[in-house]
Amino acid sequence: MRRIALTLAAFALGATALSACGGGDSSTGLVDKAKNDKKLTIGVKIDQPALGVKKPDGSMEGFDVDVARYIAEKLGVPESGITWKETISANREPFLQQGQVDLVVATYSILDERKEKVTFGGPYIVAHQDIMVRGDDTSITKVEDLKGKRICQASGSNSYKRITDPAPNGRGISAKLVPAGAYSECITKLKGGTLDAVTTDDLILAGFASQGGDFKILGTPFTDEKYGVGMKKGDTKGCEAVNDAITEMYKDGTAAQLLSKWFGNAKGLQLPTEAPALEGCA
Which helix (H) or strand (E) segment is 160 a member of?
A: none
Residue 268's pLDDT is what? 64
Cβ atoms within 10 A of the Cβ of 142, count?
10
Question: 70: how many CB neighbours lie within 10 A of its CB?
Answer: 20
Ranges of each domain in the chain: 27-127+226-263, 129-217
129-217 has the same fold as 27-127+226-263: yes
- Provide mean pLDDT across the span 51-68: 96
Would you say residue 57 has pLDDT above 90?
Answer: yes
Task: Give the pLDDT confidence score for residue 106 in this predicted structure.
Answer: 96
As to burial, measured by CB atoms within 10 angstroms (0-12 exposed, 13-18 middle, 19+ buried), residue 240 is middle
| Region 27-127+226-263: CATH code | 3.40.190.10
Binned at pLDDT 50, 70 and 90, residue 7 comes out as: very low
Measured distance CA(142)–CA(220) in Å, rounded: 7
pLDDT value at 239 more than 90: yes
Rg, the chain, Cα only: 21
Pairing of strands 82-86, 40-44: parallel
| CATH number for the domain whose boundaries are 129-217 | 3.40.190.10
For residue 78, whether the previous peptide bond is cis, meaning omega lies within 30 degrees of 0, is no
Q: Is the pTM of this model over 0.95?
A: no
pLDDT classification of 93: cutoffs 50, 70, 90? very high
For the chain, give the number of residues: 282
Q: Tell me the three state secondary structure of residue 103.
A: strand
Query: Which of 4-13, 111-120, 157-166, 235-244 is the least confident region?
Result: 4-13
Cis peptide bond prior to 94, omega within 30° of 0: no
Percent helix / strand / coil, the chain, rounded to 5: 40, 20, 40
The pairing of strands 82-86 and 129-134 is unpaired
Phi and psi at residue 178, to the nearest 5°: -115, 115
Task: Look at residue 162 and give its three-state secondary structure.
Answer: helix
